[in-house]
């Protein structure tokens, strides 16, 4: 337990009966410094990085495993540490082509969910590597490429590219091609849900789903720093862990949702019903929150307003479009809203469920159901204002 948590506990005595002490502790997307139960994976990633400690670049690698298995958690924690002030390797890096010593490499972590195009990938990488801001407009991809090249010539980098091969992100193979121009200046670590195809990269690290006990630990740890004392029991953690079958994202999302419900009802601890409603708000399977929260602003707005619509307003895509177009917060043409809804359905963030009604003629309409953790999204969206 950290100091902040201890202090918040004491504060409660002063009549401040808050159930939720720290939303970020429950946030499935917010990663903590020491992800538990992933020691062996950490070791293997460090094995892959080992040449860095001898002043050489490692060959490219891939890390893969199912959703909610802590891939991002491990890499976030590790790369944050390695790019921090603590890490200072003894020797400089030798490039394979030149015997000249260059600086030690930077460690950067880029998310292809936020960087789905060539332009954006270069942009994200470059801004992660430099202090000064990189223009997002008015500059060509070519331009960014050459800026990146000269930056990397000064200092090489180990680049972890997260979430490759998802519905809207580029494949590991594409990422490799885009980094081809920086050969010998960059080592790639791609992170995705499926194993790489073919004989690239050299090193492949598999990360299995969490076991039951570890998942319970994770929930208890997060719960104890995020919630008031005794608000969340061990047996409740066991229930959630069993339900989530190894997916920490879903388990935490359900806990977060349960806490939001209990908090709205003014309870000081989670009830069985809160837990149920928390789980109900996380569809199985669920689109990951990290994805939903990196969608462009207006798409998130459409999703947020979608959650406010009545059953009747969601009976068909047309009805939903009209209802959303009427919302004062949404300043988009009906055609665009409709476009968004179909695209979100295509990506599996919402699901179209076809009605089998027969009252009107024409193709039967379909109603839209969210396929992402609704309560968590609502809360996080409203908090960021």
Partner DNA sequence: GATCCACGGGAATACACGGATG
Partner DNA sequence: CATCCGTGTATTCCCGTGGATC
Paired residues of 204 in beta bridges: 62
> Any contact of residue 329 with DNA (CB under 7 A)?
no
> Any contact of residue 312 with DNA (CB under 7 A)?
no
The residue assigned the tokens 């580029």 is 170
> Any contact of residue 317 with DNA (CB under 7 A)?
yes
Could you tell me which residues come within 8 angstroms of residue 59 by beta carbon, excluding any fewer than 6 positions away?
A: 187, 201, 202, 203
Among 247, 338, 372, 374, binds DNA (CB under 7 A): 338
Residue 40 Cβ vs DNA, minimum distance, rounded to whole Å: 38
Closer to DNA by Cβ: residue 127 or 271:
127
Q: What is the largest CA-CA distance in the chain?
A: 77
Residue 111 Cβ vs DNA, minimum distance, rounded to whole Å: 14
Residue 57 Cβ vs DNA, minimum distance, rounded to whole Å: 28
> Any contact of residue 328 with DNA (CB under 7 A)?
no
> Any contact of residue 298 with DNA (CB under 7 A)?
yes
Site for DNA, residues 192 to 211, rule: CB under 7 A: none
> Any contact of residue 352 with DNA (CB under 7 A)?
yes
Residue 154 Cβ vs DNA, minimum distance, rounded to whole Å: 19
Residue 193 Cβ vs DNA, minimum distance, rounded to whole Å: 22
In three-state secondary structure terms, 284 is: coil
- Encoded tokens for 329: 């917060």
Among 342, 348, 369, 381, binds DNA (CB under 7 A): 342
> Any contact of residue 56 with DNA (CB under 7 A)?
no
Contact predicate 119/139, CB 8 Å: no
Tell me which stretch binds DNA (CB under 7 A): 12-20, 224-232, 248-256, 346-354.
346-354
Cα atoms found within 13 Å of the Cα of residue 13, Cβ hemisphere only: 4
Tell me which stretch binds DNA (CB under 7 A): 41-49, 69-77, 253-261, 315-323.
315-323
> Any contact of residue 131 with DNA (CB under 7 A)?
no
Query: Residue 313 has what DSSP assignment?
Result: G
Closer to DNA by Cβ: residue 114 or 158:
114
Of the candidates 103, 106, 94, the one whose C-alpha atom is nearest the C-alpha of residue 158 is 106
Among 85, 296, 328, 385, binds DNA (CB under 7 A): 296
Of the candidates 233, 213, 238, the one whose C-alpha atom is nearest the C-alpha of residue 223 is 233
Residue 297 Cβ vs DNA, minimum distance, rounded to whole Å: 7
Tell me which stretch binds DNA (CB under 7 A): 161-169, 170-178, 278-286, 327-335.
327-335
What is the end-to-end Cα distance of the chain in Å, rounded? 30
What is the distance between the alpha carbons of residues 185 and 142, in angstroms, rounded to a whole number? 18
Determine the Cα angle at 215 with ends 212 and 218, to 5°: 155
Q: Where are the beta strands (DSSP E) in the chain?
A: 61-64, 93-94, 101-102, 106-111, 157-164, 186-192, 203-206, 350-354, 366-370
Among 141, 212, 272, 284, binds DNA (CB under 7 A): 141
Of the candidates 329, 274, 276, 333, the one whose C-alpha atom is nearest the C-alpha of residue 303 is 329
Residue 37 Cβ vs DNA, minimum distance, rounded to whole Å: 36
Angle between helices 234-244 and 212-226 (to 10 degrees): 130
> Any contact of residue 310 with DNA (CB under 7 A)?
no
> Any contact of residue 299 with DNA (CB under 7 A)?
yes
> Any contact of residue 361 with DNA (CB under 7 A)?
yes
Tell me which stretch binds DNA (CB under 7 A): 194-202, 226-234, 243-251, 314-322.
314-322
Cα atoms found within 13 Å of the Cα of residue 33, Cβ hemisphere only: 4
> Any contact of residue 360 with DNA (CB under 7 A)?
yes
Paired residues of 164 in beta bridges: 192
Site residues (CB under 7 A) for DNA?
A: 117-120, 135-142, 296-299, 316-318, 332-333, 335-336, 338-339, 342, 345-346, 352, 354, 358, 360-366
């Amino acid at each position: 337990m950290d100091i902040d948590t201890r202090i918040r506990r004491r504060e409660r005595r002063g009549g401040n009966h808050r159930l939720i002490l720290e939303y970020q502790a429950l946030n499935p997307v917010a990663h903590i410094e020491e992800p538990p139960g992933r020691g062996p994976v950490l070791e293997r990633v460090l094995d892959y990085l080992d040449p860095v400690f001898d002043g050489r670049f490692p060959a490219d690698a891939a890390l893969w495993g199912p959703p909610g298995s802590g891939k991002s958690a491990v890499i976030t924690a590790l790369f944050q540490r390695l790019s921090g002030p603590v890490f200072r390797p003894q020797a400089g890096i030798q490039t394979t082509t030149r015997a000249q010593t260059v600086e030690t490499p930077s460690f950067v972590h880029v998310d292809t969910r936020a960087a789905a195009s060539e332009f954006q990938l270069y942009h994200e990488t470059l801004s992660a590597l430099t202090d000064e801001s990189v223009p997002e407009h008015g500059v060509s991809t070519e331009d960014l490429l050459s800026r990146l090249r000269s930056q990397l010539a000064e200092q090489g980098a180990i680049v972890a590219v997260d979430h490759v091969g998802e519905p809207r992100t580029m494949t590991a193979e594409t990422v490799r091609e885009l980094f081809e121009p920086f050969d010998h200046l960059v080592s790639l670590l791609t992170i995705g849900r499926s194993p790489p195809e073919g004989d690239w990269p050299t090193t492949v690290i598999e990360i299995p789903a969490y076991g039951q006990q570890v998942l319970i630990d994770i929930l208890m740890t997060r719960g104890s720093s995020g919630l008031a004392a005794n608000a969340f029991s061990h047996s409740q953690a066991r229930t959630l862990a069993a339900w989530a079958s190894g997916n920490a994202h879903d388990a935490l999302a359900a806990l977060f949702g349960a806490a939001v419900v209990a908090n709205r009802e003014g309870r000081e601890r989670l009830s069985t019903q809160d837990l149920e409603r928390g789980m109900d708000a996380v569809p199985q399977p669920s689109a990951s929150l990290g994805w939903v929260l990196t969608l462009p602003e207006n798409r998130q707005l459409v999703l947020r307003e979608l959650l406010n619509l009545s059953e009747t307003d969601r009976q068909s895509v047309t009805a939903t479009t009209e209802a959303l177009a009427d919302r004062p917060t949404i300043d988009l043409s009906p055609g665009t809203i409709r476009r968004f809804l179909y695209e979100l359905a295509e990506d599996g963030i919402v699901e179209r469920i076809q009605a089998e009604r027969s009252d009107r003629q024409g193709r039967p309409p379909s109603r839209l159901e969210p396929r992402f953790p609704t309560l968590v999204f609502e809360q996080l969206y409203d908090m960021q204002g």
